């Protein structure tokens, strides 16, 4: 009887130790953030980026981006139909320009397809993707406490799953990290996971820009068909 009691206590002790050793997704998130932003530069990030987007059967589009997080400023410029178009956002106030001429008239904005909704979307899009994985600590992000593992092309990844408050977003995201280097090597989102819709993005050639590790190349594919949608190449201006 005494031996049986000792065996049970030893078993319980082992379970407790193993549970204590389990790493939560939030703990792991802190580690990968330390890898990508070791000196906590993202909250004060200010920099100029150039993104070249290559899409099958279309001409490349080069976009200049200015991000100044302390001043809540975002500026995006590119050429459309041979004309330089610029969108400037300070906080949530949006201004539009063709070359250096501000387009303030509503009819002109409509003519050039400028909309505030689209402008804010592009700001959130670029600051979110180039601010990962730090942006996973933003308010409204719900991190699944479990760390997942997944094997893709003979390689194992540690995976963080994120959903969002309804005011923030409706998609389900997965973020894939190399278990040894802690580099973020891909991410994936679903509008409805049961339908295998959405896309996955393969990241490569990371660059350190103003102290923050960012993917220099992002290749976008559909989840369902494995179809290449396009590739973004990032350079520092």
pLDDT in tens, 153-186: 999 999 999 999 998 989 999 999 999 999 999 9
3-state secondary structure the chain: CHHHHHHHHHHHHHHHHHHHHCCCHHHHHHHHHHHHCCCCCHHHCEEEEEEEEECCCCCCEEEEEEEECCCCEEEEEEEECCEEEEEEEECCEEEEEECCEECCCHHHHHHCCCCHHHHHHHHHHHHHHHCCCHHHHCCCEEECCCCEEEEECCEEEEEEEEEECCCCCCCEEEEEECCCCCCEEEEEEECCHHHCCCEEEEEEEEEEECCEEEEEEEEEEECCCCCEEEEEEEEEC
| d(C-alpha 108, C-alpha 94), whole Å | 15
- Kindly report whether the global pTM for this prediction surpasses the value 0.85: yes
Task: Check if the beta carbon of residue 130 is closer than 8 Å to that of residue 144.
Answer: no
Task: Name the phi and psi angles at 112, rounded to 5.
Answer: -90, 5
pLDDT for the residue 22? 73
Closest CA to 61 of 79, 46, 84, 42: 79
Is pLDDT of 5 > 50? Answer: no
| Assigned token pair, 46 | 């200010």
Task: Check if the beta carbon of residue 185 is closer than 8 Å to that of residue 157.
Answer: yes
Is pLDDT of 8 > 50? Answer: no
pLDDT in tens, 11-33: 444 444 334 357 899 999 999 99
Up-side HSE of residue 68: CA atoms within 13 Å toward CB?
A: 9
Please list the residues that pair with 62 across neighbouring strands: 52
131 CB neighbour count, 10 Å cutoff: 21
> For 41-60, what is the mean pLDDT?
94
Which residue shows structure tokens 């989102």? 189
Is pLDDT of 215 > 50? Answer: yes
| d(C-alpha 31, C-alpha 145), whole Å | 15
């Amino acid at each position: 009887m005494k031996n049986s009691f000792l065996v049970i206590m030893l078993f319980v002790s082992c379970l407790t130790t193993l549970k204590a050793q389990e790493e939560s997704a939030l703990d792991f998130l802190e580690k990968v953030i330390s890898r990508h932003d070791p000196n906590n530069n993202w909250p004060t990030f200010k920099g100029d980026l150039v993104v070249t987007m290559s899409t099958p059967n279309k001409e490349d589009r080069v976009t200049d981006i200015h991000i100044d997080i302390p001043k809540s400023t975002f500026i995006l410029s590119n050429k459309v139909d041979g004309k330089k178009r610029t969108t400037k956002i300070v906080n949530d106030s949006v201004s539009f320009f063709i070359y250096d001429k501000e387009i303030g008239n509503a009819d002109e904005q409509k003519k050039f397809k400028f909309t505030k909704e689209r402008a804010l979307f592009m700001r959130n899009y670029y600051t979110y993707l180039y601010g990962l994985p730090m942006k996973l600590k933003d308010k409204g992000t719900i991190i699944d406490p479990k760390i997942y593992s997944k094997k893709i092309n003979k390689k194992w990844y540690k995976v963080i799953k994120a959903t969002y408050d309804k005011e923030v977003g409706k998609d389900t995201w997965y973020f894939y990290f190399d278990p040894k280097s802690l580099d973020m090597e891909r991410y994936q989102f679903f509008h409805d996971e049961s339908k295998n819709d959405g896309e996955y993005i393969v990241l490569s050639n990371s660059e350190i820009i103003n102290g923050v590790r960012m993917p220099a190349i992002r290749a976008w594919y559909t989840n369902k068909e494995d179809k290449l949608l396009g590739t973004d190449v990032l350079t520092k201006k």
